[in-house]
């Protein structure tokens, strides 16, 4: 038994928190109730999360046919856009998923309790009525009772204040991001290493400016994805994302080559796809959730802002490392930047497969912690970590053998291909570490351990940035990838330390 706040909960565990990583490891692929729930959430989430990077890879492949300068220019613009976007997106989506899952779990418990009380009350009333009414009146009573049951069973919209808060914050941040990127495009690109006299500047500026017009749609759609994840519904975001990204892939060659718009056509196609995704998700959301709360105080902006600020610290630290790496590559020249862009896109696209497991872990854990179900929380954490490690090993072998041949899909430049070959071992061998790092993130967010996630990542970023600056200046392209490997290893270790030592929300593991 685990005692928390005077209440006791059944829980079976080992005395050593570290053993959570090996708990029931032989059942890692078992499709029991937990396995099925993880699969139902993770598989659609994986497909949705990888759809956008795949669309970016398609963009990269089309742009690579124009030339290495355009490929490098778009690579810098995408890195910059993603950094600014993630500063707003990641805290919003992560906080939304946890809060919606918690509120939905509490509402579910309250609804079940209300149903039990209602059934008991109806049963008592029916028994009294049977004694008082004549036999002929029973049919009328049954008819009324049946009518009441049918009426009460009609689906009602959920009252989830966090959903409304997420939409308001997402729309506001999207508009601010668009204004920021459009008005400061040139100095931001200069900061990224694209000098005023660089041939990369004109195409990079055109792409960044046009793509920034889709920032409001990007933040709104991802805020809504966070809401659906909190409901443990990852299929709806999948359908919307696939519809948008297929549209993007169809419009890419039309705008780029038929209308001869080049990199501008790629940006326009991407913006159209993002607004399509937002429209689909919003149409579905208004059918499920009451988005107009009774009072503005129900929106609880303070809770969002407090935890969002913590994750803002974290995401700045996370994205700054990757963006600094892209900036260092850009300073080496267009050839190095083009090779780095291809390797980075593949590295992130495959690593995000593990983020599907992180989404499943976060949603299930947030619900389990809200219900004080520590046994389910432990089993979920163990299962998603073990699945994440296995996924990382599979990706390692796939990329190690296949990326050399797939690289020709992105460019035909011999110098760029030679550099990509050098980066392949780093991209492949880091996959198990990357997978664990992503899964640990989902676990910590599910436990609402936002403070630890923020401060630990800041420490990781400081050490990684020092390594990046030293290694890139001394070893160039290889040094950048060595530094990124160190960065992901430290990030995984931070998550390992929290659970393995049984501290914070995991202190019950030591009880």
Q: Distance between alpha carbon 209 and the CA centroid of its chain, in Å?
A: 25
Q: Is residue 52 part of a domain?
A: yes
pLDDT of residue 116: 62
**Range of 441's domain?**
23-111+157-504
Three-state secondary-structure class, residue 291: coil
pLDDT of residue 122: 61
| C-alpha separations of 346 from 50, 57, 206, 407, 426 in Å | 11, 8, 24, 10, 11
Q: Locate tokens 């994986």: which residue?
A: 46
The values of phi and psi at residue 9, to 5°, are -130, 135
How far is residue 65's CA from residue 79's CA, in Å, rounded to a whole number? 20
How far is residue 338's CA from residue 336's CA, in Å, rounded to a whole number? 5
Domain count, the chain: 1
357-368 exposure pattern, b = at least 16 Cβ within 10 A, e = fewer: bbbbbbbbbbbb
| C-alpha separations of 471 from 80, 328, 332, 344, 465 in Å | 22, 10, 13, 17, 10
Q: By the 8 A CB rule, do 135 and 181 touch?
A: no
pLDDT of residue 110: 59
Is residue 3 within a helix (H) or strand (E), and if so which, with residue range? strand 2-4
Q: Is residue 366 part of a domain?
A: yes
Q: Say what the pTM is.
A: 0.75
Q: Is residue 15 part of a domain?
A: no
Per-residue pLDDT of the chain (511 residues; tens, 9 = 90+): 444 444 444 444 455 676 778 787 787 888 889 999 999 999 898 888 767 667 777 777 888 888 888 888 888 888 788 778 877 777 888 889 988 988 888 777 655 565 566 566 665 555 555 555 555 455 554 444 444 444 444 457 788 888 888 899 899 999 999 999 999 999 999 988 888 988 999 999 999 999 999 999 999 998 999 999 999 999 999 999 999 999 999 999 999 999 999 999 999 999 999 999 999 999 999 998 888 765 666 667 777 778 888 888 887 888 788 888 888 888 888 888 888 888 887 887 777 778 888 999 999 999 898 888 888 999 999 999 999 999 999 999 988 888 878 777 777 778 888 888 888 889 889 999 999 999 998 999 999 898 999 999 999 999 999 999 999 888 888 999 999 999 999 999 998 898 888 888 988 888 7
Q: Is residue 243 part of a domain?
A: yes
Burial (CB count within 10 angstroms: exposed 0-12, middle 13-18, buried 19+), residue 258:
exposed
Q: By the 8 A CB rule, do 367 and 390 touch?
A: no
Contacts 24+ apart (CB under 8 A), 178-183: 178/212, 178/213, 178/215, 178/216, 180/84, 181/80, 181/81, 181/84, 181/208, 181/209, 181/212, 181/215, 182/209, 182/212, 182/213
Q: By the 8 A CB rule, do 435 and 389 touch?
A: yes
pLDDT of residue 468: 92
How far is residue 211's CA from residue 271's CA, in Å, rounded to a whole number? 6
How far is residue 496's CA from residue 243's CA, in Å, rounded to a whole number? 37
Helix intervals (H) in 184-233: 185-191, 201-212, 215-230
202-220 exposure pattern, b = at least 16 Cβ within 10 A, e = fewer: ebbbbbbbbbbbbbbbbbb
How far is residue 338's CA from residue 173's CA, in Å, rounded to a whole number? 31
How far is residue 500's CA from residue 494's CA, in Å, rounded to a whole number? 10
DSSP state of 259: S
Q: Is residue 447 part of a domain?
A: yes
Q: Is residue 417 part of a domain?
A: yes
Q: Distance between alpha carbon 16 and the CA centroid of its chain, in Å?
A: 31
How far is residue 338's CA from residue 410's CA, in Å, rounded to a whole number? 10
Q: Is residue 141 part of a domain?
A: no
Q: Is residue 41 part of a domain?
A: yes
How far is residue 29's CA from residue 155's CA, in Å, rounded to a whole number? 35
pLDDT of residue 10: 44
pLDDT of residue 346: 81
Radius of gyration of the chain from Cα atoms?
25
How far is residue 109's CA from residue 104's CA, in Å, rounded to a whole number? 9
Q: Locate tokens 């005395």: which residue?
A: 15
Cα-Cα-Cα-Cα torsion 106, 109, 113, 119, nearest 10 degrees, comes to 130
């Amino acid at each position: 038994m685990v005692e928390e706040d005077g209440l006791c909960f059944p829980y079976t565990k080992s005395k050593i928190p570290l053993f959570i990583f090996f708990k029931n490891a032989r059942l890692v692929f078992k499709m029991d109730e937990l396995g099925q729930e993880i699969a139902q959430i993770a598989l659609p989430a994986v497909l949705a999360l990888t759809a956008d990077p795949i669309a970016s890879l398609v963009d990269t492949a089309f742009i690579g046919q124009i030339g290495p300068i355009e490929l490098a220019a778009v690579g810098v613009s995408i890195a910059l856009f993603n950094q600014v976007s993630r500063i707003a997106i990641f805290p919003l989506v992560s906080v939304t998923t946890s809060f919606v899952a918690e509120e939905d779990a509490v509402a579910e418990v309250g609804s079940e309790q209300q149903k039990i009380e209602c059934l008991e009350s109806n049963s008592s009333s029916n028994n009294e009525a049977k004694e008082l009414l004549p036999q002929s009146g029973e049919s009328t009573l049954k008819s009324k009772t049946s009518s009441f049951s049918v009426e009460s069973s009609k689906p009602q919209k959920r009252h989830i204040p966090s959903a409304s808060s997420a939409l308001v914050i997402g729309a506001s941040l999207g508009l601010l991001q668009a204004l920021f990127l459009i008005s400061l495009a040139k100095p931001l690109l200069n900061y990224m290493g694209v000098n005023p006299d660089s041939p990369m500047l004109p195409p990079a500026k055109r792409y960044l400016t046009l793509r920034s017009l889709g920032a409001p749609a990007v933040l709104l759609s991802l805020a809504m994805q966070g809401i659906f994840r909190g409901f443990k519904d990852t299929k709806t975001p999948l359908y919307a994302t696939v519809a948008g990204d297929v549209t993007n892939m169809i419009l890419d060659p039309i705008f780029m080559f038929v209308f001869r718009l080049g990199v501008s056509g790629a940006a326009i196609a991407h913006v159209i796809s993002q607004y399509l995704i937002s429209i689909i998700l919003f149409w579905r959301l208004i059918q499920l959730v009451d988005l107009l709360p009774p009072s503005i105080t129900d929106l609880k902006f303070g809770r969002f802002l407090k935890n969002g600020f913590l994750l803002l610290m974290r995401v700045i630290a996370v994205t700054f490392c990757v963006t600094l790496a892209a900036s260092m590559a850009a300073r080496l020249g267009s050839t190095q930047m083009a090779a780095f862009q291809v390797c980075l896109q593949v590295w992130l696209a495959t690593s995000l497969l593990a983020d599907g497991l992180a989404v499943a872990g976060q949603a299930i854990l947030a619900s389990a912690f809200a219900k004080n179900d520590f046994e389910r929380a432990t089993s979920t954490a163990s299962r998603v970590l073990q699945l994440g490690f296995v996924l990382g090993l599979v990706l390692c072998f796939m990329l190690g053998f296949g990326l050399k041949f797939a690289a020709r899909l992105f460019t035909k430049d011999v110098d760029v291909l030679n550099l990509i070959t050098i980066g392949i071992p780093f991209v492949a061998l880091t996959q198990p570490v990357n997978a664990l790092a992503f899964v640990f993130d989902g676990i910590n967010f599910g436990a609402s351990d936002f403070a630890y996630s923020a401060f630990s990542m800041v420490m990781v970023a400081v050490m990684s940035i020092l390594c990046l600056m030293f290694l890139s200046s001394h070893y160039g392209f290889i040094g950048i990838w060595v530094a990124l490997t160190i960065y992901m290893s430290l990030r995984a270790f931070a998550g390992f330390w929290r659970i393995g030592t049984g501290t914070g929300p995991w202190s019950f593991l030591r009880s």
